[in-house]
A = this chain, B = another copy of it.
Amino acid sequence: MPENREVIDNPRSDRVRRVNDLADRRQRQRHGRFLIEGPQCAREAVACRPDALMDLYIEVGPGDGLQPVSPAVAAIRDQARSQAPGVYVHYVTSRVMQAISKNAQGIVGVGSLEAMRDDLDALAADWGEGAEAAADDNETLIAALWQVRDPGNAGAVIRAADAAGCQAALLVDECVDPFNPKVLRATAGSIFHIPVLPVSTDEFFVRCRGWELPVLAADIYGAHGRQPQALPDFLARSPSGAAGRAVLFGNEARGLPEEVLARVDAIVSIPIYGRAESLNLATSAAVMLYALAMSSRLERM
């Protein structure tokens, strides 16, 4: 692992500005890089996607050599030394780290967009492998977000999808950029665990048909003439050993429009048993994805 043992102390240097610039989408696209803020995301990048990690910036205390500011950060540096030999490590002072990111907690990374780019064909190939390996373990479950614009919600859904065992998260039709630093932080590192891919609405439906994955829309209103099924009813009626699903979640404010609902195989809503008006998108996604994941595993027990 290359290491620059000279501590960077100038918050106005070109290098510092270039890293800070990655908070901006145009700069990310121009440089092909993205920002990874904080120990949680940096740790998962080192552990799971060292191929996509280019640099680590590590904050050190004043006058104590190259001692990272926290044991958590030191542990990530040590793991990078053994597992991510291509990553370049830089040491920075507190004021430089402040200039790079307000959410660093002692460490930021810079990743390569190119290395993170998955394509839909590669995705299907992965499931092919996964399906064999996991025939008696788990089924294909895909989370899809339609026009979701809020970074915190998008990141939280990606995290919940990962936890619930989804094989991928698809960002359908102009969602927020998953490499927006707020999205990335909200994924808590899950963006380094499962493929997260943008796709158009048409391609989403064409692909799901090709993959033989029924599309289930999470929606409380339903479409014209088509009431949503309540989630527990849907689970009770589902054939055991169902062949996997893609679950589509709508925009955080507007839900899913008629023309999208018209193309899905089922519309399912989470029942509100109390007097709350609704659940937010991230909470709904976690409840829905876990209910499906647990139910399909129970059926095969």
Contacts and interface: CB of A to CB of B under 8 A. Distances in A.
Interface of A: 40, 44, 48, 138, 156, 159-166, 188-190, 193-194, 231-232, 235-236, 270-280, 282-283, 286-287, 290-291, 293-294, 297-298, 301
Given A156-B283, A290-B270, A190 B138 contact: no
B162 A236 contact: no
Contact of A272 (B138, B163, B280, B301): B163
Nearest to A288: B290
B159 A276 contact: yes
24 contacts: A44-B277, A156-B280, A159-B279, A160-B279, A162-B274, A163-B270, A163-B274, A163-B278, A165-B273, A188-B276, A188-B280, A189-B276, A190-B274, A190-B275, A193-B274, A235-B298, A236-B298, A271-B294, A282-B283, A283-B286, A286-B286, A286-B287, A287-B287, A290-B291
A162 B276 contact: yes
A297 to B, nearest CB: 6
Contacts of A235: 294, 298
Nearest to A158: B276
A159 B287 CA distance: 14
A18 to B, nearest CB: 30
Contacts of A272: 163
Given A232-B298, A290-B291, A193 B276 contact: yes
A199 to B, nearest CB: 20
